[in-house]
């Protein structure tokens, strides 16, 4: 079974803090994604990566950055956390172009910024 893990299930941070969210997948997937999910809105893509050291902006990259130094790990960084970044953050991975059917999600990190 594909396993996608995220470093924390719940996180509380203060405004202005630098926040790191880590995601690791164990199935050698090329593609990795970071979404945020807010009530009444669909999943919104923040950043994605289709290879090591490669990254592409999604729909809402402002206030975020990412790092992919190793294939299995994709980190989301909030440079200076703000209250409007309080949300559920979901990481996902998918195989390369040979199978674009599914994305596999981690359990999510619920972030509260005070």
Residues forming contacts to another protein in the complex (CB under 8 A) are 4, 31, 33, 40-45, 48, 50, 56, 58, 90, 94, 97, 100-108
Cα 12 to Cα 59: distance, rounded to the nearest angstrom: 25
* Closest-CA residue to 15 (of 75, 79, 65, 67): 79
Residue 80 CB, nearest approach to another protein (Å): 27
* Closest-CA residue to 15 (of 60, 57, 63): 63
Residue 92 CB, nearest approach to another protein (Å): 8
Cα 107 to Cα 50: distance, rounded to the nearest angstrom: 21
Residue 16 CB, nearest approach to another protein (Å): 28
Between 100 and 114, CB nearer to another protein: 100
Between 26 and 79, CB nearer to another protein: 26
Between 3 and 18, CB nearer to another protein: 3
41, 56, 69, 98, 100 from 22: Cα distances, Å: 23, 17, 12, 26, 23
Between 45 and 77, CB nearer to another protein: 45
């Amino acid at each position: 079974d594909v396993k996608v893990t995220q470093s924390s299930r719940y996180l509380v941070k203060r405004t202005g803090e630098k926040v790191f969210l880590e995601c690791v997948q164990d199935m050698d997937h090329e593609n990795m994604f970071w979404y945020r999910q807010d009530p009444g809105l669909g999943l919104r893509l923040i950043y994605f990566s289709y290879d090591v050291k490669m990254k592409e902006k999604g729909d809402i990259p402002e206030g975020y950055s990412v790092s992919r130094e190793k294939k299995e790990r994709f980190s989301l960084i909030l440079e200076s956390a703000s209250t409007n970044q309080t949300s559920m953050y979901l990481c996902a991975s998918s195989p390369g172009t040979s199978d674009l059917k599914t994305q596999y999600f981690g359990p999510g990190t619920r972030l509260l910024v005070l």
